[in-house]
Amino acid sequence: MKRILTLLLAAALLCTCAACRKTEDDDKPIADIAGNPTVTLGGNPIPGTGSSDDDPHAGWEAWANLPAFDYTAIDLSKYIEVGNYKGLAVSKMSDVLTDEEFEDEIEAMLDSYSYYEEIVDGTVSEGDRLRVDYAGYKDGVAFAGGTGYDQEVVASSGTGYIEGFAEAYIGKTIGEEFSFDVAFPADYGVDDLNGQTVTFVTTVHAIVTDNLIVPELNDEFVTANFAYANAEEFRIAYRETVEKQKAYYVNSQMYTDLWQQVLDNSAVKEYPVDAVHRIYADQRSYYESYASYYGTDYTNFLTNYMATTDDEIYGTAEAYVKEDLVMYSLVKELGVAPTEEEYADGIAFYAEYNGMTTEEILDYYGEENLRTSVLWQALMEKIAAEAVILGD
């Protein structure tokens, strides 16, 4: 879990470095079923249908109440054989930010503020791309997944929505609130909506044109969006930020590669079952809640929405425990023990790079997770000190 948490933190930073920048798909919500009960995974819709088998982990709910496994209180050699971690060879790319890279980051930042010009009056025609709000009601009650704000809808058939939804916007006036009825197909995949007629109340805010407007890095743009007096002052400060981001990413990538080698060199003798069960229960509860929200069961949700299986979820829990076993074994062997000041500094570092206050990041990730990440980082610094680091 340490490695994964650290990578999540690195990916969530203000970091705009091309190598660690997230795509738009990474931040998409798990689903939008205003027109189709699907989850978008890498841009590919997956229908909400399927079948469930007998539960191989019946009784898992009780596992959530198991006590946390104390990796520091016992001899972990019963569970894990830690492999070689000394003198490992690892590549590390240059952490020097070039002028070309910085200009690319400026361009990427400006692109992130780009927008399509909108038409805010007139009438909707066939094929228009719209920005709308809508709310779906069944028997006067809003149904789950049927509400959206500032959503894009193309006023045409065959656009992925239930029949009659997108076409209902044709001929409507921008700014007008109106309602219409549509019927879900009998095999829609959500029990409460299969074959049911519902009402959508909606407003068209604008017709979105194809004219993409990318701002220029000038004083007007900077003062409107950042706490700097002018563009030059912003460029200086932004370069310092991007330099730190690249250095952090380069080191994180090197640590990740080293850590994977350490894990590959290590072997689990036996798993502390309660530790695996507790992590599995936490993950399962998460997926069960989403399955319930979309009117399906856990097995169907994993298969059709997440493209995974219960066995893989359980295997992930085992992989997390293996990481814990290896990490705490090496922490003890190498005498890694950050001081309270070092823990505080590490958490403050994560907060700064996530654009959060310390209080915000503690609330978001939890102190235990953050302290564990700082501990892992300190461990990897020791392992890297004994590694053979190959440059570009």
DSSP assignments along 28-71, one per residue: --S---SS---EEETTEEE-S-------TTTTGGGGGGSPPP-T
Indicate the burial class of 391 (C-beta count within 10 angstroms; 0-12, 13-18, 19 or more). exposed
| Cα 3 from Cα 307, distance rounded (Å) | 23
Predicted confidence at residue 26, as pLDDT, reads: 37
> What is d(CA 193, CA 339) in angstroms, rounded to the nearest whole number?
56
What confidence score (pLDDT) does residue 364 get?
Answer: 94
User: Which domains, ranges and CATH numbers included, belong to the chain?
Assistant: 2-107+225-390 (no CATH), 116-213 (3.10.50.40)
Strands 44-46 and 39-41: antiparallel
Angle at 49 between CA 44 and CA 54, to 5 degrees: 120
Q: Six-digit token pair at 129?
A: 């791309």
The dihedral over CA atoms of 357, 360, 366, 371, expressed in degrees to the nearest 10, equals 0
What does the alpha-carbon distance between residue 92 and residue 69 come to, in Å, rounded to a whole number? 35
Residue 284 confidence (pLDDT): 96
pLDDT at 392: 55
- CA dist 261 and 5 (Å) reads 18
pLDDT tens digits for range 263-292 = 999 999 999 999 999 999 999 999 999 998
Question: Can you give the pLDDT at residue 150?
Answer: 95
pLDDT at 377: 94
Nearest to 333 by CA among 139, 72, 57: 72
Residue ranges for the chain with pLDDT beneath 50: 1-4, 6-8, 10-52
Decide: 323 and 1 in contact? Cβ < 8 Å: yes
Q: Report CA Rg, the chain.
A: 26
Give the model confidence (pLDDT) of 112-153 as tens digits.
999 999 999 999 999 999 999 999 999 999 998 899 999 999
pLDDT of residue 3: 44
pTM for the whole structure: 0.68
Closest alpha carbon to 221 in 111, 100, 104, 105: 111
Local structure of residue 123 (DSSP, 8 states): B
**Which pLDDT belongs to residue 53?**
52
